[in-house]
Chains A and B, each alone.
Chain A
Amino acid sequence: GENVEQHPSTLSVQEGDSAVIKCTYSDSASNYFPWYKQELGKRPQLIIDIRSNVGEKKDQRIAVTLNKTAKHFSLHITETQPEDSAVYFCGLENSGGSNYKLTFGKGTLLTVNP
Chain B
Amino acid sequence: DAGITQSPRHKVTETGTPVTLRCHQTENHRYMYWYRQDPGHGLRLIHYSYGVKDTDKGEVSDGYSVSRSKTEDFLLTLESATSSQTSVYFCAIRAGGYNEQFFGPGTRLTVL
Q: State the A residues within 8 Å of B (CB).
A: 1, 6, 32, 34, 43-46, 49, 51, 89, 93, 95, 98-107
Contact = CB atoms under 8 A, between A and B. Distances in A.
A49 B59 contact: no
A43 B4 CA distance: 11
Contacts of B59: 1
A44 B58 contact: no
B74 interface: no
A106 B41 contact: yes
Given A34-B100, A43-B106, A99 B56 contact: yes
Given A98-B50, A99-B50, A104 B99 contact: no
Interface of B: 31, 33, 40-45, 48, 50, 56, 58-59, 90, 94, 99-106
A93 B45 CA distance: 13
Nearest to B105: A43
B45 A101 contact: yes
A104 B43 contact: yes
A12 to B, nearest CB: 18
A102 B92 CA distance: 11
A110 B88 CA distance: 21
A104 B42 contact: yes
A49 B48 CA distance: 21
B103 A43 contact: yes
Given A93-B99, A98-B50, A44 B90 contact: yes
Contacts of A101: 33, 45, 48, 58
Contact of B40 (A89, A98, A102, A106): A106
Contacts of B33: 101-102
A104 B41 CA distance: 9
A34 B101 contact: yes
Contacts of A98: 50
B42 A89 contact: yes
A34 B90 contact: no
A32 B103 CA distance: 17
B69 to A, nearest CB: 21
Given A44-B90, A98-B50, 15 more contacts: A1-B59, A32-B99, A43-B104, A43-B106, A44-B43, A44-B103, A89-B42, A89-B43, A99-B50, A101-B33, A101-B45, A101-B48, A103-B45, A104-B43, A104-B44
